[in-house]
Amino acid sequence: MVPSDEGEFGLIALDDGKAAFPVGHVRLLNLSGLAVRGALDDASFELPVLPRITAPQRIGSRVKVGVAFERQSRPVVGFDQSLSVNDGERLFLAPFREGADLRTRVVRDQVSMVGAGEGD
């Protein structure tokens, strides 16, 4: 659940099934209340004010992630790291705001390969 402009809460549903969010992919969900932009390796992205989520993007065994927001018309980097991705893993990144800074939570999800190819 995420807060809305009116101080109430809204619900965001995310399909994390193997077909909708495959292994070796990354998704970003903007929970910050700020417009954010950044890059995954050489591919740039822009996420308007919440709730915005990217489609799954294929990544290799290592991905460079940068996330920034604008403060007083200047870009401020909130996250800039290189992340390793293990076999059977997918990443979920959620930029969120805590105090004056933008933070990005990285969630690693190990997907069971048992029954691969079968329905979810």
Nearest Cα to Cα of residue 106 among 10, 1, 29, 7: 29
Give the list of residues 6+ apart from residue 86 with CB closer than 8 angstroms, or none: 61, 108, 110
- pLDDT at residue 61 in the model: 93
* pLDDT tens column, 88-119: 999 999 988 876 788 899 999 888 765 555 44
Low-confidence ranges of the chain (pLDDT < 50): 118-120
Q: Rounded distance, CA 21 to CA 86, Å? A: 16
